[in-house]
């Protein structure tokens, strides 16, 4: 079987599971994973044949895809903000809207004139470095992308999952990016004392009410970690409330908070921070959904 036929077979096997465009994208990633040939290479050599091992791998991948397993977990990799990250079922698969949140931070820092991008650090920078904390870091994609883009910033990430922290540290080592990843339960105020005072807090916390499970796609519900997705129905804003209280103690004056939110809870998140004395800005993502909030003191 050649690679073109194999890619076509994958697409056909995904009919009814994914929309056509998504099935095509998955098939492209899968055949590159199986064959080792990029899309461009396959265009120039459409008759390239899979060997016996690759054909066996093809059928195993199709079986896993048909059980709704995300292609990113099958490959153990994904891309975020121009970087390649290792992922498995212990961490969420990074989403494009989270890239938008990272980009919002980067653009705001650039506009502020802070020299965190390419200038070589001096001894004086040790006390004036921009300090960033990523709460619920998961794979480390937010923290590591910010540090890569702003190498003079000092960046921390925290998570309550030891398995997730192993992946975040693995990604930091592979990418040769230094972020201080700490294991703690952010909802425990006592454990929050381990965290630094910072200029920027960023978080993509769990925010999906548990009652929404019935409407979730199988590739998310059956494979992605529930502790990183769901919150109790009776307190869907539990993490935002904790962040608002934490920032009163650990956010420098003129600091900012950047948050990813549930598309249906924007007004509730805004009200929470407004009532706590903050200034807020609600922003839509590229799909027109209210998915991001910026909070300032």
> Is 174 in contact with 152 (CB distance < 8 Å)?
no
235-246 pLDDT, tens digit each: 999 999 999 999
Nearest to 259 by CA among 91, 169, 93, 133: 133
Q: What is the pLDDT of residue 113?
A: 80
User: Which pairs count as long-range contacts for 24-31, CB under 8 Å and 24+ apart, including other chains?
Assistant: 26/65, 26/71, 29/71, 29/75, 30/61, 30/65, 30/71, 30/74, 30/75, 31/3, 31/6, 31/7
The secondary structure of 81-136 as a DSSP string is TTEEE---TTSPPP-HHHHHHHHHHHHHHHHHT---SSSPP-TTHHHH--EEEEES
State the average pLDDT over residues 231-254: 96
Q: What is the pLDDT of residue 120?
A: 54
Q: What is the pLDDT of residue 117?
A: 62
16 has pLDDT over 80: yes
Which letter, b or e, does each residue of 198-212 get, where b requires 16 or more Cβ atoms within 10 Å of its Cβ?
A: bbbbbbbbbbbbeeb
> Is 157 in contact with 179 (CB distance < 8 Å)?
yes
121 has pLDDT over 70: no
More confident residue, 88 or 121: 88
Nearest to 94 by CA among 256, 214, 224: 224
Give the SS3 label for residue 227: helix
pTM: 0.93
128 has pLDDT over 80: no
Mean pLDDT across the chain: 94
180-183 β-sheet, strand order: 180-183, 154-159, 131-135, 198-203, 251-260, 290-296, 279-284
> Is 210 in contact with 236 (CB distance < 8 Å)?
no
The token duo for 226 is 């529930």
- The Cα–Cα gap between 236 and 228 comes to 13
192-227 pLDDT, tens digit each: 999 999 999 999 999 999 999 989 999 999 999 999
State the average pLDDT over residues 117-142: 77
Q: What is the pLDDT of residue 41?
A: 82
118 has pLDDT over 70: no
The token duo for 120 is 């070589």
CATH number of 78-296: 3.40.50.150
Assign 37 a pLDDT band (cuts: 50, 70, 90): confident
Q: What is the pLDDT of residue 48?
A: 85
Q: What is the pLDDT of residue 40?
A: 84
More confident residue, 123 or 188: 188
Q: What is the pLDDT of residue 123?
A: 52
- Measured in whole angstroms, the distance separating CA 45 from the mean position of its chain's CA atoms is 35
50-102 pLDDT, tens digit each: 999 999 999 999 999 999 999 999 999 999 999 999 999 999 999 999 999 99
φ, ψ of residue 268 to 5 degrees: the values are -70, -40
Q: What is the pLDDT of residue 77?
A: 97
- The Cα–Cα gap between 93 and 73 comes to 8
Q: What is the pLDDT of residue 122?
A: 54
Q: Report CA-CA distances (Å) from 282 to 200, 252, 287, 290, 292.
A: 17, 22, 14, 7, 6
Q: What is the pLDDT of residue 129?
A: 86
The token duo for 192 is 């929050």
φ, ψ of residue 61 to 5 degrees: the values are -65, -45
Give the SS3 label for residue 265: coil
- The Cα–Cα gap between 50 and 57 comes to 10
């Amino acid at each position: 079987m050649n690679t073109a036929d194999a890619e076509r077979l994958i697409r056909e096997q995904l009919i009814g599971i994914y929309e056509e465009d998504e099935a095509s994208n998955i098939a492209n990633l899968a055949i590159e994973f199986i064959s080792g040939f990029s899309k461009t290479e396959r265009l120039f050599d459409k008759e390239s044949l899979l060997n016996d091992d690759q054909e066996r791998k093809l059928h195993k991948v199709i079986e896993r895809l048909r059980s709704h397993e995300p292609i990113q977990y099958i490959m153990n990799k994904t891309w975020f903000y121009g970087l390649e990250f290792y992922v498995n079922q212990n961490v969420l698969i990074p989403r494009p809207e989270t890239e938008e949140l990272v980009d919002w931070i980067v653009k705001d820092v650039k506009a502020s004139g802070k020299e965190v991008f390419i200038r070589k650090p001096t001894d004086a920078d040790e006390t004036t470095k921009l300090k960033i904390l990523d709460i619920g870091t998961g794979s480390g994609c937010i923290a590591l992308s910010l540090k890569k883009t702003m190498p003079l910033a000092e960046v921390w990430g925290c998570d309550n999952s030891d398995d997730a922290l192993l992946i975040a540290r693995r990604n930091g080592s592979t990418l040769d990016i230094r972020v201080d990843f700490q294991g703690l339960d952010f909802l425990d105020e006592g454990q929050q004392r381990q965290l630094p005072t910072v200029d920027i807090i960023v978080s993509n916390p769990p925010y999906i009410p548990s009652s929404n499970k019935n409407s979730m796609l199988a590739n998310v519900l059956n494979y992605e970690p529930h502790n990183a997705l769901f919150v109790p129905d009776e307190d869907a804003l539990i993490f935002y409330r904790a962040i608002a209280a934490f920032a009163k103690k650990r956010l420098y004056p003129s600091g900012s908070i950047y948050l990813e939110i549930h598309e249906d809870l924007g007004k509730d998140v805004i009200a929470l921070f407004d009532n706590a004395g903050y200034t807020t800005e609600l922003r839509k993502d590229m799909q027109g959904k209210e998915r991001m909030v910026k909070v300032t003191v």
